[in-house]
Amino acid sequence: MASVTITVNGQKRTADVEPRTLLVQLLRENHGLTGTHVGCDTSQCGACVIHVNGKSVKACTMLAVQADGASVTTIEGLADGATLHPMQEAFRDNHGLQCGFCTPGMVMSAVDLVQHNADPSEQEIRDWLEGNICRCTGYHNIVKSVKAGAAAMRKTKTKKK
């Protein structure tokens, strides 16, 4: 067993796990954060996308032990209390989900995109979402949501300044 300490959504948490435990298993099974989904378990679908040290990664293709000492943000860490993150709000406003299974990964991936491209074009959004699959094929509204979410994130940023 290995002791793994990560800062999840701002909170330091430690668990004893086998080295073969995936990061997504640690989050879901040890820390009870079931917002991060396991879709394909083969790093294709992106339902498990989270942020590790600020960058989006697929939590099904990273070991928990590899994340020891890292800062992790999951979908549960985006909202500010009862106030949704602008990207989450945009997915709701634009009907960016149908069954909702892919949504946590879509939102986490989109937030990472906007971190280094504040105003992505439709093509840039579609290219970026290469690693996120929506089995309902609801891509059109997802792209619309990301565009709106990026605009809302730009606005919040200016307000904060």
Binding site for another protein (CB under 8 A): 2, 18-20, 41-44, 46, 49, 55-58, 61-63, 65-66, 109, 112-113, 116, 128, 130-132
Task: Considering the complex, state which of residue 65 and residue 151 has its C-beta at the smaller distance from another protein.
Answer: 65
Identify which of residues 84 and 126 has a Cβ nearer to another protein in the complex.
126
CB-neighbour burial class of residue 20 (10 A; exposed 0-12, middle 13-18, buried 19+): exposed
Residue 138, both tokens: 């609801």
Q: Which residue, 19 or 155, is less far from another protein as judged by CB?
A: 19
Phi, psi of 62 (to 5 degrees): -145, 140
- Please, what is the minimum distance in Å from the beta carbon of residue 15 to another protein? 15
Give one DSSP letter per residue of 21-87, joined into a string.
-BHHHIIIIIS--TTS--SSSSSSS-TTEEEETTEEEEGGGSBGGGGTT-EEE-GGGTSBTTBPPHH
| Cβ-based nearer residue to another protein, 73 or 132 | 132
CB of 98 to another protein, least distance (A): 22
- Closer of 86 and 120 to another protein (Cβ): 120
Cβ neighbours, 10 Å, residue 150: 23
Angle at CA of residue 105, ends 99 and 110, nearest 5°:
115
| Residue 22 C-beta: closest distance to another protein, Å | 8
Provide the minimum distance between the beta carbon of 23 and another protein in the complex, in angstroms, as a whole number: 10
Cβ 49 to another protein, closest distance in Å? Answer: 6
